[in-house]
Amino acid sequence: MKNFAWLFCFLIIQISAQTGISVSPPRVYFESVSGSSSTQKITVTNVSAKNSLDLAVSLSDWEYDEKGENIMHPANTLKSSCAGWISIKKEDNYFSLAPGERKDLDVTITPPVNNKDQLPAHTAVLFVSQMNPVEDVDTQGSKIKVSVRSGIKIFHKYTDIIKRKIEIKDLKFDVTKKTLTLTFENQSQIWTDGKIITDIINTNTGKKLTIEPLVFYTLPGNTRKVSLPINNLEEKGSYNASVIIDYGDNETLEMAELNFKYE
């Protein structure tokens, strides 16, 4: 019996160079007033070497868990959903692409004149899904049927100026895992993205350890727990960890410090 595999991502998918979809850009941001329509283009490309793809467009809702992983929901089920505001041309709901062929889709969003939830920001995800599975093999050499789909996250905000705010709730050091655990909350009314910058200094020797900056994405009300491994922590001693969350300009920085011992 042949197995069927459905693979999904938000960027580019390629399976053994047999089939794949590239959808760009991975995120689309709209800003408009109630009752006003705005349109942006997304580009869908068949990156397969030899397979034609039959594709369908659909919409869903999504949110993040505390680790930043995507959780999918049916369209129009989340309070923050804008899936019902989105439209595309009828002929673009289903289409086919030959190997290497690309197609532009016009995505239009029209927020209602009277929006009952009063939220300043809304989201949805637009999926482009392959409807004609192709033959492939898995890592064990077994024959499988493979379909792929790719998603674009859609964000909408009204034109009001909204101040972003991130607040650090906790910063701990796990000596057994040699890991800093950072907990922070997006207290804004809008999505807030940025990077986490971490510096660690051995207060006995002055030696500085640097962790690679970590990019994060959050939605309003999200609490995020992030593990920051200190892979180059070797010398015993006392340390000072400085963590900065940069999510805008110089006025939108959140900082925390932690003194700990590694023995």
* Domain range list for the chain: 21-158, 166-262
- pLDDT higher than 50, residue 18: yes
User: What's the confidence (pLDDT) of residue 30?
Assistant: 97
The pLDDT mean for the chain works out to 89
Q: What is the mean pLDDT of residues 241-262?
A: 91
| 44 touches 128 (CB < 8 A) | yes
- Measure the CA–CA gap between 88 and 82, rounded to whole angstroms: 14
| 126 touches 93 (CB < 8 A) | no
- pLDDT higher than 80, residue 14: no
Q: What is the mean pLDDT of residues 113-130?
A: 92
- pLDDT digits over 139-171, tens only? 666 777 778 889 999 999 999 888 899 999 999
Q: What is the mean pLDDT of residues 116-132?
A: 93
User: What's the confidence (pLDDT) of residue 137?
Assistant: 61
Q: What is the mean pLDDT of residues 53-69?
A: 96
* Short-list 94, 105, 119, CA closest to 45: 105
| CA 16 to the chain's CA centroid | 25
User: What's the confidence (pLDDT) of residue 261?
Assistant: 95
User: What's the confidence (pLDDT) of residue 115?
Assistant: 82
Q: What is the mean pLDDT of residues 91-110?
A: 96
- At 228, list the tokens: 């920051």
* Short-list 224, 225, 221, 223, CA closest to 187: 221
| pLDDT band at residue 250 under the 50/70/90 scheme | low
User: What's the confidence (pLDDT) of residue 95?
Assistant: 96
pTM (2 decimals)? 0.85
**Alpha carbon of 259 to those of 14, 236, 238, 243, 262: distances in Å?**
45, 14, 7, 12, 10
User: What's the confidence (pLDDT) of residue 4?
Assistant: 40
Q: What are phi and psi of 91, to 5 degrees?
A: -75, -10
Q: What is the mean pLDDT of residues 116-138?
A: 87
Residue 131 three-state SS: coil
- pLDDT higher than 60, residue 43: yes
> Which DSSP string do the residues of 35-49 spell out, in sequence order?
T--EEEEEEEEE--S
Among the residue ranges 134-138, 147-151, 181-185, 232-236, the one predicted with the least confidence is 134-138
Q: Where is 23: in which H helix or E strand?
A: strand 19-24
- pLDDT higher than 60, residue 7: no
